[in-house]
Amino acid sequence: MQRFLRIMSKFVVLLALCTLFVMIAIPPFLYFYFRQKIYVSIDSVIDSPQTVMVLGAAVYSNDTPSGALQERLNTAAELYEKKNVVKILVSGARSSEYYDEPRTMRAELVKLGVPDEAILEDNLGLRTFDSCRRAKSEFGISSLLVVSQGFHLPRALFLCDSVGIETTGIYATGNFSSYHGNWYNFREVAAMYLAVWDITRFWLE
């Protein structure tokens, strides 16, 4: 009996160590693996993406994009102009008639020269996982170029890739990224664990 208990205790310790190792390894693995699929600038984009997805971010009360969102929209508009993009999917939250990220994104892209008919809206992109899942299930998209900040892209690419979309990303850069990137890098660690949980549930459905 004592021998059995010793074996079981060793097994539990080994299992705990393996679990701890996996938990520690998740953020750096996602970061370094998916960073290889990210373009650093528009000029470095070597293909001609058919569809670009702009992930939502905060919108102010006067329907003005936040700094993070404005950087993403500027990048998407420039991609449309330079890289023969066919469609831009703007995916974000619409909680009421007064708060509508996709509506604001569409309006800003039109201001930046993107034709209205080239823009698709998804107002149920409440989280990055929702945006990726719905891009596949509701819009039938099989390949995407995702526009977001560098701290966000590895997780976004992991989520879209895991739901069956061939995905690359491109950095949206500017003052917001320069001043706030370190804080959001730290926050992304927790978000990566949630992303793995979301995909595990998705695969088990």
34-204 fold: Rossmann fold (3.40.50)
- Span 18-35, pLDDT tens digits: 555 566 667 777 888 888
The structural domains of the chain, with segments of one domain joined by +, span 34-204
Is residue 100 scored above 70 in pLDDT?
yes
Structure-token match 């966000």, residue found: 152
The residue that leads in pLDDT, 172 or 186, is 172
- Residue 115's φ and ψ, nearest 5 degrees, are -60, 140
Cα distances (Å, whole numbers) of residue 82 to 42, 126, 193: 8, 29, 36
The model carries a pTM of 0.86
